[in-house]
Chain A
Amino acid sequence: DTGVSQNPRHKITKRGQNVTFRCDPISEHNRLYWYRQTLGQGPEFLTYFQNEAQLEKSRLLSDRFSAERPKGSFSTLEIQRTEQGDSAMYLCASSGGTGGHEQFFGPGTRLTVL
């Protein structure tokens, strides 16, 4: 599968723990996006990278959230001191190359905070 991949697919953690998710974009894509989707809602934008530069962060991204894309390839999203309200599906998307501006989505990481 040469699409966007995300790991892990599911994560269950206790409140207060730190979690880290990984996204591997389509290899030729230079733009990478993180979205969050809660039950009954559409995906909501969190942050966006062009190569290794983080160009925009949503107000949804509190100080407990940090995202990196150190070499302009894969990206990680870390949530510190998780809260029950962080329970959601975290989606990654990438665009660029021959795909142009279309964003291709990964399968998501489902986070459950107990």
Chain B
Amino acid sequence: AQRVTQPEKLLSVFKGAPVELKCNYSYSGSPELFWYVQYSRQRLQLLLRHISRESIKGFTADLNKGETSFHLKKPFAQEEDSAMYYCASRPMNRDDKIIFGKGTRLHILP
């Protein structure tokens, strides 16, 4: 069965320091991987997906098939990055349901 694991419930990082949110997945096929973000009092929104290979708001994530990881990184944290981050996966049938991890709350300290 598909599973997405985010080992950290809470990550506190000082402003300007690097950020890394960890995510591991288990799936027998070739899933599509995502990071979703939920800012305070806002709805869940897509941050980035592995197939796009893009940087959004300074965040990047590289799919490592050998380690089945999709960690989210940003070199210099900003206060507005404080939010709940969810790693998620979906089979390559792109209309299928999304499987979410439990989420990591990122708290940027001033």
Residues of A within 8 A of B (CB): 3-4, 31, 33, 40-45, 48, 50, 56, 58, 91, 95, 101-103, 105-108
Q: Give Cα A31–Cα B94 distance, bound, in whole angstroms.
A: 11
Interface contact A43-B95, CB-CB below 8 Å:
no
Q: Which residues of A contact B102 (CB under 8 A)?
A: 40-42
Contact of A105 among B44, B95, B96, B97 (CB under 8 A): B44
In the complex, how many angstroms separate the beta carbon of A82 from the nearest chain B beta carbon? Answer: 24
Q: How far is the CA of A99 from the CA of B94 in the complex (A)?
A: 12
Interface of B is mostly: loop
Known: A42-B86, A42-B88, A95-B95. A105 touches B45 (CB 8 A): yes
Chain B residues whose CB sits within 8 angstroms of the CB of A56 once the complex forms: 96-97
| Chain B residues within an 8 Å CB radius of A101 | 94-95
Decide if B57 is an interface residue (CB 8 Å cutoff).
Answer: no
**Chain B interface (Cβ within 8 Å of chain A)?**
4, 9, 43-46, 86, 88, 94-103
Residue of A with least CB distance to B93: A101
In the complex, which residues of chain B have a beta carbon less than 8 angstroms from the beta carbon of A48?
95-97
Q: Which residues of chain B have C-beta atoms less than 8 A from A4's C-beta?
A: 43
- In the complex, chain B residues whose CB is within 8 Å of the CB of A107: 43
Closest-by-CB residue of B relative to A107 is B43
Say yes or no: A42-B101 contact (C-beta < 8 A), given A91-B44, A107-B43, A108-B43: yes
Q: How far is the CA of A44 from the CA of B103 in the complex (A)?
A: 12
30 contacts between A and B (CB under 8 A): A3-B43, A31-B95, A33-B97, A33-B98, A40-B102, A41-B102, A41-B103, A42-B4, A42-B88, A42-B102, A42-B103, A43-B44, A43-B86, A43-B98, A43-B100, A45-B98, A48-B95, A48-B96, A48-B97, A56-B97, A58-B97, A91-B44, A101-B95, A103-B46, A103-B98, A105-B43, A105-B44, A105-B45, A106-B43, A108-B43
- Interchain residue pairs A-B with the least CB separation, the first 9: A42-B100, A101-B94, A45-B97, A105-B44, A107-B43, A43-B100, A42-B86, A105-B43, A42-B102
B49 to chain A, nearest CB (A): 8
